[in-house]
Structure 1
Amino acid sequence: MQSIQDPRQQYPAPPYPQSPQDHPGSDATLAPKADHGETSYKGSGKLTDRKALITGGDSGIGRAVALAFAREGADVLISYLSEEQDAQETVRLIEEAGRKAVAVKGDIQDEAHCQELVNRAIGEFGQLDILVNNAAYQMNHTSFLDISTEEFDRTFRTNVYAMFFLSKAALPLMRPGGSIINTTSIQAYQPEPSLLAYAATKAAIANFTKSLAKEAIEVGVRVNAVAPGPVWTPLIPSTMPEEKVKSFGEDSLLGRAAQPVELSPIYVLLASQEGSYITGMIYGATGGRPIA
């Protein structure tokens, strides 16, 4: 059993010593190291023999969710863009938990790739019970005028179109009791001008979640979303100016960024039978900043 801790001092607070990274960033060189639950998350069989597909599962929130799902008894397929080393570490953690792990490289902007991810999950596991649309693209700009059409399009195709592609492919194959979980953000509710394109996609994800939930429940599938605040992942030093990285999360009530493991229990709840009466909801995990 974990000892009770003061959440303000539970994890490192700014200033962070992290140096800039090339996009999409690597977990292996994060400073301080991110906690995905490697030594702290304890499973209790909440997802025994479930089969899950998680996008962006190589690092950050995706890795923490993959690890938690595996320790709860699920087999997991993760998709990732290019970070082979990070993806293989996630695979190792899943297999160390005694579950089957599959890692598939590719760009979820492509509808055919999204269809192949669902087909691969069905082929590997025989079924698909949980879809986590988590992968995201963001870039930071001092002015809206600096956002190119190509970047705006990439942000929407990665964050919104891929969710549409994957949900459309997966829903007809999911059994009653299945769960779709999308990752939105506090940016959907308190958008920063420097993240205009990303924030707009996260608002779309929240809206999509509530709308799809009304249809998906007709076949017994629940649809929810998690809205994180600042979370310490490779996306931060690979997309934000160095001065923002060093102070990342200091504006939360806890005075620090979240660690990925602090988000994963919410995904477990939403995927599990304990969450059977929860659908069409957005769960905030923002360190105290409001999402209403």
Structure 2
Amino acid sequence: MIEAVMVWNEPNNTSHWDFGIDPGWQTFAQMARATGEAVHAEAPHVKRVLGGVSPIDPRFIGNMKGQGVLEAMDVVAVHGFPLDWNLWAVEDWPEKLDAVRAVTDLPVWVTEVGISTFAGDAVQAEGLHRTAKVLRGQSERVHWYSLFDLPGAWEATTRHKQREGSSYFRHFHMGLIREDGTPKPAMDAFAEHADFLGICQWFHYEDHRLDDAVRWLKKMGVKRLRTGLSWSDDDRPNSLDWFDRQMKALEDFELTVTFCFTPEHRGVVPHYTSPPRDINEYVDFCARMVRRYAR
């Protein structure tokens, strides 16, 4: 099932990794390098992807290269949201990718790109057309974020929550499908580019949207899917049942699976963005998941 494993998500973003208590990302680099080696030992055919960076920062990639991380990776990944959170234009994508390629010879995947409907449905539809046109031929993997809007009763994965103002609420409108199950106009735009666009869709523990997602993805002709298995769910009483159900449901897709989120009681501080007290616990989780789902 698993084509690729992503080691963490957005490690240069404080909403996903607290680099305030990991200056220079030294702990992250040790953990990522050890994870890449462990994944290769379990399943040499699986590509190892350095967690997609957001913002796109060649200096961070250069830092990881200098600490030996890229020697244990096959791909580096980037995330970009130029119409929502980034201060650059859709047409700047080739320049952003070239800047990363200047510091590494590894392939560069775009594992999250998306546009919210916070400002209106037409913005997303037109933006998807422009994005697909610009990125076609620029990267061998492009994953549109996301399939579903985030339910209004949930919380978005950010550090400062509502204090971020409109930036926070944009997280709830990134889907091609509204919370009520109706498609947005951008769904038609996606259909025109489904031959090369994949989807990125996260699933929460025992997510009620899983089966609907599979039906929609197959209807849309999606072949490549990026999702995640949360390390923070690993200690739940029925975690393996949920992981098995999720992976079984998604077995028909070419999967890039992201492993991230620190269990609070395993962190240096009790937060999902914290570096773990023992990096080997994360490495072991990744190895176990690869052993279970990628062999």
TM range (shorter): 0.3 to 0.5
TM-score by length of structure 1 reads 0.37
TM-score by length of structure 2 reads 0.37
